[in-house]
Amino acid sequence: MVTLVHNYVFPLKGLPRDQISTVSEGFQFGRVSSCFFTQSRRVYVGVPPVTAIRYRIPTLMAMRDEGAKRGNRSSKQKVPHVLTVAGSDSGAGAGIQADLKACGAIGVYCSTVITAVTAQNTIGVQGVHSVPENFIDEQLRSVLSDMEVDVVKTGMLPSIGVVKVLSHRLKEFPVQALVVDPVMVSTSGDLLAGPSVLDGLREELFPMADIVTPNLKEASTLLGGVKLETVADMRSAAKSIHALGPRTVLVKGGDLPDSLDAVDIFFDGENFHELSASRIKTRNTHGTGCTLASCIAAEVAKGSSILQAVKIAKCFVESALDYSKELVIGTGPQGPFDHLFKLSSNGNSYRRQGFNPSDLFLYAVTDSRMNKKWGRSISDAVKAAIDGGATIIQLREKEAETRDFVDAAKACKEIAHSYGVPLLINDRVDVALAIDADGVHVGQSDMPAHVARRLLGPEKIIGVSCKTPEQAEQAWSDGADYIGCGGAYTTKTKENNPTVGLDGLKTVCLASKLPVVAIGGIGLGNACSVMEIGVSNLKGVAVVSALFDRECIASETRKLHSLLMDAVSRLK
């Protein structure tokens, strides 16, 4: 058995360390039965069994981030790239169309080699037209020889000939990882691949695969028809399929009878992981398998480990199903779902159209102690600030219990969005994700902005507190949208927070490639002096006590708004 793992280096006994590229992101101990060595792809071959230390080489994401740090952010950027080799579904719920939507939703480029065109809808598959093998080969060659594919994901492979063509091309053009979804039958029960394909999968593709993702029916077919009815059956199936050669196996339990949760079993040759999601009650599950495999491929292309990728993918499918459970498309029993989370017309009327730096103009930051002192709820405070003219809200709740914070944040989001005002969450990326806030604001000791960006996706607003030009530079290369700079003046809101003063603020503004909002001790008495430092990327002031430690928040906000307007018009 050969294990191809491009993302890892397996230094075998006696192998000189200087042949190992950068050692980063820590290491794990593992056992590999054998592996391969080619100089160019950094994969090693050994005699089984070999105990190895597994070093992670820099992922594409890390390399891209490095590139960005070196300042070539806008010139050449390597975009994570998944190639899907699968069938077209005219109803667009599964197959190539699901793959494109899933990768798009995750922010990964997806190229497509089409193996068959199906006439398909929510009722079933009415026809299959296979693409000639030599033309599939031509598509493969076109993409693989030119477009720097990171991960290949396979779906419907209608004949053994297609499997052979693919495995041949993958040997010629090796990729970082291979995700095999052994599609055989559609959810509607229609045949998508003949029985001969089984041998092809087992002999040609599984040994090269980093993960194989059969559903219950497929796992049973691969194992000669064994009955799979319980989670224990799924575990033993995962083990038996692993013995066919793939690095890891995910047996999917979407169709497990009588199960309240959607349970999948992941096996990496040593450990089992039981991955559970709540089972969404919906008819719209057509394409869940294709979507899951594409999300795994996309996450691996971005730099996740296989297990991490599976967890994220499962969460994506669960959220997408939940979001689209009431969607009505087609009349049959198997509807598609909404990968882009946006088709549904209920709620969410406000969506951010990109970050607008002028939103930083009057930036209101809440404070739970002040709300407590004045006996008001966070949402009442937020409403009053918006009534007075606040242009963006940040919820800064250092003491609240998570559940209370989530509830309050939800209420505040509703209010803010009804006025078209963006709502950010201080520090707590989890809370921002939970309520689908417009973004987060993080400090230097909070979650790094590039990690927050990876978690929140490209559309959300990310702000970073910076005191120096170096931190501002870092925020920019981490993918932040704006920086908060302060303390402009001394403040009691934040203890042990050194003041940078107006000079420090000006230095950071001049150095920053991002728009800046000033913070720290700003109120009616000094807001104009702040704006008057006269640097064009200083877009506004952020205030806490000057609004929230006052009897009437709305009128204080109104006064500050008009002062700022005057200051800006004087500067023009």
Ligand X SMILES: Nc1ncnc2c1ncn2[C@@H]1O[C@H](COP(=O)(O)OP(=O)(O)O)[C@@H](O)[C@H]1O
| Site residues (vs Mg ion, CB under 5 A) | 187, 254, 288-289
Cβ proximity of 426 and 397 under 8 Å: yes
Query: Which residue from 86, 211, 280, 517 is in contact with ligand X, where contact means CB under 6 A?
Result: 280
139 vs 145: CA distance, rounded Å: 10
382 binds ligand MP5 (CB under 6 A): no
Select the binding partner of residue 87 from ligand MP5, ligand X, Mg ion, none (C-beta < 5 to 8 A, by kind): ligand MP5
287 binds ligand MP5 (CB under 6 A): yes
Pairing of strands 439-442, 392-395: unpaired
292 binds ligand X (CB under 6 A): yes
283 binds ligand X (CB under 6 A): no
Total residues interacting with ligand X, rule: CB under 6 A: 19
298 vs 102: CA distance, rounded Å: 8
- Please tell me whether residue 138 adopts helix, strand or coil conformation: helix
133 vs 165: CA distance, rounded Å: 7
Nearest to 207 by CA among 236, 162, 170, 232: 170
338 binds ligand MP5 (CB under 6 A): no
Would residue 290 show up in a list of annotated catalytic residues for this protein? Answer: yes
The residues with which 424 forms a beta bridge, in sequence order, are: 394, 439
Select the binding partner of residue 314 from ligand MP5, Mg ion, ligand X, none (C-beta < 5 to 8 A, by kind): ligand X
Return the residues of window 119-148 that contact ligand MP5 according to CB under 6 A. 120
Please pick, among 59, 84, 213, 288, the residue that the annotation labels catalytic: 288
| Residue closer to ligand X (CB basis): 296 or 395 | 296
Would residue 224 show up in a list of annotated catalytic residues for this protein? Answer: no
| Residue closer to ligand MP5 (CB basis): 291 or 305 | 291
Please pick, among 95, 287, 389, 523, the residue that the annotation labels catalytic: 287
Query: Which residue from 91, 246, 289, 335 is in contact with ligand X, where contact means CB under 6 A?
Result: 289
HSE of 234, CA atoms in CB hemisphere, 13 A: 27
Nearest to 189 by CA among 130, 127, 124: 124
| Residue closer to ligand MP5 (CB basis): 254 or 303 | 254
Q: Distances from the Cα of 101 to the Cαs of 98, 212, 298, 343, in angstroms?
A: 5, 21, 11, 13
Question: Shortest gap between Cβ of 126 and ligand MP5 (angstroms)?
Answer: 12
Question: Shortest gap between Cβ of 288 and ligand X (angstroms)?
Answer: 4
Tokens at residue 319, please?
A: 């959220």
Would residue 254 show up in a list of annotated catalytic residues for this protein? Answer: no
Would residue 95 show up in a list of annotated catalytic residues for this protein? Answer: no
464 binds ligand MP5 (CB under 6 A): no
Select the binding partner of residue 262 from ligand X, ligand MP5, Mg ion, none (C-beta < 5 to 8 A, by kind): ligand X
122 binds ligand X (CB under 6 A): no
Would residue 285 show up in a list of annotated catalytic residues for this protein? Answer: yes
Pairing of strands 439-442, 461-466: parallel
3-state secondary structure 268-308: CCCCEEEEEEECCCCCCCECHHHHHHHHHHHHHHHCCCHHH
Please pick, among 154, 285, 291, 391, the residue that the annotation labels catalytic: 285
- Please tell me whether residue 543 adopts helix, strand or coil conformation: strand
Cβ proximity of 483 and 514 under 8 Å: yes
Q: Which stretch binds ligand MP5 (CB under 6 A): 71-79, 84-92, 262-270, 436-444?
A: 84-92
Binding site for ligand X (CB under 6 A): 187, 215, 252-255, 262, 264, 277, 279-280, 285, 288-289, 292, 314, 317-318, 321
Residue numbers annotated as active site: 252, 285, 287-290
